[in-house]
Amino acid sequence: MKIRTAILILALTFSLCFAALLVDELKRDSLLGSSGLITAGQKLGIEIGTPIAEAQRKMIAKGFINEALTAPQQCHSKDYSTLNEQVKHWHNARMRAVVCLGEENGKVTTISWSIGGWEL
């Protein structure tokens, strides 16, 4: 009986880990919580260097809305006012997420994000 219980627990654990790999990045981050800033690579399906119009379409498709926040040149402790970059703030209340896209010359140059995890 103990072996069956151990196998069942192991199978359930494996299944949950496998299921987490199948969930898209935004949903996984909304469960676990995530924050950061990148200047190379990709986040949420948007690569650095992507045209800003394409990035905006992707953000809308993921349920984000563009919002002007009170400090338009700051996001996630990054000060954009000293750079040539403009910052676009995106908010998704359902996922408790804020994503900022830094833009220069019509291309995404930085992506910063804060996505809430579960709170107990």
pLDDT tens for residues 37-89? 899 999 989 999 999 999 999 989 988 888 765 455 667 667 766 666 677 77
Cβ contact 86:80 at 8 Å: yes
More confident residue, 65 or 6: 65
pLDDT band at 107 (very low <50, low <70, confident <90, very high): very high
Q: Are 58 and 45 in contact (CB under 8 A)?
A: yes
Over residues 3-28, the mean pLDDT reads: 69
* Identity of the highest mean pLDDT range in 21-35, 39-53, 95-109: 39-53
Instruction: Say what the pTM is.
Output: 0.69
Structure tokens, 51: 């045209």
d(CA 103, CA 35) in angstroms, rounded, equals: 19
pLDDT of residue 42: 92
